[in-house]
């Protein structure tokens, strides 16, 4: 009688192993991955804040740029890996977390590709890295779920609040314009003031 074939342990595909590391926080590699990304997000935010200090030495600027480059490289690899392991790639790309991940790295690539000195406001998109932390916090995920559940009520509240603010502004203008016309003039040369 021939021997039954011995069962060999199934080997994990590299993509499955990567998916386990990225998506499972209850494994040691998953925890290390999550903690590493979270620390890098915080470091990146701190360096972003430090870059606003006006009188930084060239060596400090060089160090901050190096940290920024490393952060962008890691966040880009993370984003691409998340797309790779996603079962529904387009759904991930256009999901809340997919868009946040993209917005966290996009300004760095736009600055390399185009001369955006006049659009420095795009650097504020780097602050979307803070939102990447939402992925790693269970309490923040519950808050996100709560906001999704009361979305219509929030829209209604914001609409009513906007109408109240608009009516208040119109009322203030209507009742205060005659007393202080110079404070309510939109075009200063026409009001006799200086521009």
Share of the chain above pLDDT 90, in %: 12
Query: Can you read off the two tokens belonging to residue 148?
Result: 């999704």
Residue 187: predicted pLDDT = 43
- The pLDDT tens digits of the residues spanning 92-115 come to 899 877 888 888 888 788 776 554
CATH of domain 14-143: 1.20.120.350
Residue 137: predicted pLDDT = 67
pLDDT at position 85 over 80: yes
167 versus 81: which is more confidently predicted?
81
76 versus 111: which is more confidently predicted?
76
- The pLDDT tens digits of the residues spanning 26-60 come to 888 888 888 888 888 888 878 877 877 778 889 99
pLDDT at position 12 over 80: no
- The pLDDT tens digits of the residues spanning 135-163 come to 666 776 787 788 888 988 988 999 899 88
pLDDT at position 77 over 90: yes
pLDDT band at 116 (very low <50, low <70, confident <90, very high): very low
Average pLDDT, the chain: 76
pLDDT band at 81 (very low <50, low <70, confident <90, very high): very high
Per-residue pLDDT, averaged over 167-183, amounts to 75
């Amino acid at each position: 009688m021939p021997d039954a074939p011995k069962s060999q342990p199934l080997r994990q595909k590299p993509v499955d192993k990567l998916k386990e590391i990225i998506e499972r926080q209850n494994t040691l590699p998953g925890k290390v991955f999550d903690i590493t990304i979270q620390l890098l997000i915080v470091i990146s935010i701190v360096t972003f804040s430090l870059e606003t200090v006006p009188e930084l030495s060239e060596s400090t600027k060089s160090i901050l740029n190096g940290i920024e480059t490393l952060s962008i490289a890691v966040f880009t690899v993370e984003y691409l890996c998340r797309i790779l392991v996603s079962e529904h790639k387009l759904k991930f790309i256009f999901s809340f977390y997919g868009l946040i991940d993209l917005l966290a790295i996009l300004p760095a690539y736009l600055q390399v590709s185009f001369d955006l000195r006049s659009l420095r406001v795009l650097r504020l998109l780097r602050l979307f890295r803070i939102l990447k932390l939402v992925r790693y916090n269970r309490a923040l995920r519950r808050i996100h779920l709560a906001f999704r559940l009361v979305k219509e009520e929030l829209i209604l509240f914001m609409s009513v609040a906007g109408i109240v603010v608009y009516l208040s502004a119109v009322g203030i203008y209507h009742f205060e314009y005659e007393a202080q016309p110079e404070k309510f003039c939109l075009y200063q040369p026409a009001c006799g003031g200086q521009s």
